[in-house]
Structure 1
Amino acid sequence: MPRLLRLAFAALLLATPAAAQERTIRMVSGFAAGGSSDLVARLAADAAASLLQARIVVENRTGANGVIGAAEVARSAPDGNTVFQCPMSTLGIVPFLIGVSLPVDPGEALIPLGNLALSSYGFAVAANGPYRSVPEVLAAAREKPGQVTFGSAGVGSAQHLAGELLQQKAGVQMTHVPYRGATPAIVDILAGRTDFMITNLADMARQVQDGALKLLAIGDDGGSALFPDVPPLSRFVPGFEVAGWFGICGPRGMAPEQVARWEAALRQAMQGEALRRRLAESGLTPRFEDAATLARRIANDRSTWRGVIQTVGVRAE
């Protein structure tokens, strides 16, 4: 269906009287309540419900880094009444970890409907540590191969793979130190037991603002509204770009008119100041992307992380 025709059809559907469109929609989050995925799902549900003339119920189906929830949505009827809050890790990383056994590959079993937000990553060191810039860290890594350390939220996490990508792009050798979550990793950076971390800004914004951590670079070229003066990491390491994303996906097989209807609703919801403000307050960057743009982002990230995982030999834990 041509794009203009899809948009016109979607607009017509959105304008259909509520009595004809009332239904319940399930929006599944693959992570526990209180996390970023759950937050985005609930904000999206609140903002899109009236536009879709439906009651949207958020359900948490946790396990396997979001894949359990993704599999449930993939098995549902492709009628637009069951959707998934699809984050980068679930679609772009987990399917490629060596030794992983999954009921479905979410990147193959789901189709994108639209993106709502990006999650910028930051390169941070202890404010009272020896490093004041990314070039200083890289110079130390070149001078002392394997002695510069970077923390992560665990083997196969986005933080781990971001550090591995940095090594590949910069041509240096460093040592990965995995933790059980971002918080203990940050604690050890502050204590001087590890040198740096590349992680979601939401994980460390408070420590940066308090002056405990020093933010040296932003992982994507879009920058951060929270820290507008911090340069992109690609300025020091050409070709490096990492950003998380929080989209909405549906089961493969959805009719084009259903995809267009969801895309139009998400686009209109993102025009509201309240939703954008809530996303920004949570450390995310509001960014609407249509289904086609999100599909390209997913494909690019899957290619990047598949390559990193295969090169390093990252196994599922």
Structure 2
Amino acid sequence: MTTRRNAFIRRAVLCIAVLAAAATPRSAQALDYPVRPIQVIVPLAAGGPGDILMRVVADKMGELLGQRVIIENRPGAGSNVGFGAAARSTPDGYTLLLGLAPLTINPSLFKSVPYDPIKDFVPISRIATFPLVITTHPSIPAKTLPELIAYIRSKPGEMNYGSSGLGSTPHLAGVLMDKVAQTKMVHVPYNGVPAAMTDLITNRIQIVFAGPPIALPFLKEGKIKAFAVASPERSATVPDVPTTVEAGLPGFEIATWYGLLAPAGTPSEIVEKLHATLGQVLGDPAIKQRLLDLGADAAFDARPSLFADYIARDIPYWRELVQSSGARID
């Protein structure tokens, strides 16, 4: 009986040891994290506003975490290349993703995408937003947004607006405006908003829904006019431009957002540490000013779950606009 009891005890102790061994590396990993450089996949080409924004944030994160935070640019296929690479990464906290609006737009726009925006990622927090500004050529005879809408309505199918391509936020902004303001504009896709802005300045097209980084220089030079910013509150980047609600067009809110995500399965302790670090970064006045200089408004979600909720709401919002636009990429 004693021998059998001792054998049972030995097996129980062995089981406990095995379970402890299995659990310890994960807990220790989270406790010591990070012990080596962290990589952030940016699904954009180097040098653009989103890339520069992430580099500013990454440098400060690296200082606080005691490890370098390295940017890896993975552009292509409307950001799907970078999204897919991040979704397939090891969930250990050493590969993160700069998420942006196409993360939630593309599943409705493309026939297939190499990721699921809900199942494949753990949201950490938003970083910033680029609210879109309704801009026109100075020759448009309107001084207020209601006057602009009336002018567009008087010329159904004659007013052209430019965008950075099918399914982009500037394209869907035009779709939303047609819906909310009961206008009828013609979409002209370009290879980037800067190209559309060039044609706006030369009056080849009449309207562009542009982010502040692109619009601001031309606004200051008087080469374009701004009627409203499509955000709930005025943007610190263009404080003198009223919101669409203030300007008389409620229901028209649209912006490009940027946020940090990790692959699904990343330990919650690591996610919480990254979230807290990001909060410190975005609370730094110098970082806020750097983002403002880039035309972005800093945005931080008090809990990762709030960013998750934001993404969950974003998917059906964009789906409806994509379906209304008729855009589809196979």
Give the residue type in structure 1 aligned to 2:38: I
Question: 1:94-144 CA deviation, whole Å, 9 max, x = no partner?
Answer: 2211x5332223454222111111112100111233232221221123233
- Look up the SS of the partner of 1:119 in the other structure: strand
Structure 1 residue 244 and structure 2 residue 245: aligned?
A: no
Structure 2: distance between partners of 1:302 and 1:44: 26
Residue 160 of structure 1: which of 160, 165, 171 is its match?
171
- Look up the SS of the partner of 2:54 in the other structure: helix
Query: Residue 90 of structure 2 corresponds to which residue in structure 1?
Result: 77
Unmatched 5+ stretches in structure 1: 1-12
CA 1:128 to 1:174, structure 2 compared with 1: closer, same or farther past 3 Å?
Answer: closer
Cα offset for 1:158? 0.9
CA 1:151 to 1:68, structure 2 compared with 1: closer, same or farther past 3 Å?
Answer: same
Structure 2: distance between partners of 1:302 and 1:260: 24
284-293 or 156-165, which deviates more:
284-293
Cα offset for 1:303? 1.6
Query: Residue 22 of structure 2 corresponds to which residue in structure 1?
Result: none
Query: Residue 131 of structure 2 corresponds to which residue in structure 1?
Result: 120
Aligned pairs, number: 300
- Look up the SS of the partner of 1:27 in the other structure: strand
Structure 2: distance between partners of 1:232 and 1:22: 45
Question: 1:131-173 CA deviation, whole Å, 9 max, x = no partner?
Answer: 3222122112323322222111112111000110111112222
Give the residue type in structure 2 aligned to 1:83: L
Structure 2: distance between partners of 1:126 and 1:230: 16
Give the residue type in structure 2 aligned to 1:197: V
Give the residue type in structure 2 aligned to 1:180: N
Cα offset for 1:21? 4.3
- Look up the SS of the partner of 2:69 in the other structure: strand
Structure 1: distance between partners of 2:315 and 2:161: 23
- Look up the SS of the partner of 1:212 in the other structure: coil
Q: Where in structure 2 are the equivalents of 1:1-317 lying within 5 Å?
A: 21-89=34-102, 91-97=103-109, 99-235=110-246, 236-289=248-301, 290-316=303-329
Structure 2: distance between partners of 1:94 and 1:43: 26
Structure 2: distance between partners of 1:300 and 1:148: 31
Whether contact under 8 Å (1:149, 1:174) holds in the other structure is yes
Query: Residue 10 of structure 2 corresponds to which residue in structure 1?
Result: none
Question: 1:72-113 CA deviation, whole Å, 9 max, x = no partner?
Answer: 111112111110011112x1212211x533222345422211
Give the residue type in structure 2 aligned to 1:218: V
Higher Cα Rg, which structure: 2
- Look up the SS of the partner of 2:238 in the other structure: coil
Cα offset for 1:24? 1.7
- Look up the SS of the partner of 1:222 in the other structure: coil
- Look up the SS of the partner of 1:50 in the other structure: helix
Unmatched 5+ stretches in structure 2: 1-27
- Look up the SS of the partner of 2:236 in the other structure: coil
Whether contact under 8 Å (2:163, 2:171) holds in the other structure is yes
CA 1:37 to 1:106, structure 2 compared with 1: closer, same or farther past 3 Å?
Answer: farther
Percent identity of equivalent pairs: 34
Structure 2: distance between partners of 1:108 and 1:203: 34
Give the residue type in structure 1 aligned to 2:268: P
Give the residue type in structure 2 aligned to 1:92: T
CA RMSD of aligned residues (A): 2.0
Give the residue type in structure 1 aligned to 2:173: A
Query: Residue 9 of structure 2 corresponds to which residue in structure 1?
Result: none
- Look up the SS of the partner of 1:180 in the other structure: coil
Whether contact under 8 Å (1:125, 1:131) holds in the other structure is no
Structure 2: distance between partners of 1:60 and 1:257: 27
- Look up the SS of the partner of 1:288 in the other structure: coil
Whether contact under 8 Å (1:126, 1:189) holds in the other structure is yes
Structure 1: distance between partners of 2:257 and 2:166: 20
Cα offset for 1:292? 2.1
TM-score, structure 2 as length reference: 0.85
Cα offset for 1:283? 0.9
- Look up the SS of the partner of 1:188 in the other structure: helix
- Look up the SS of the partner of 2:300 in the other structure: strand
136-145 or 154-163, which deviates more:
136-145
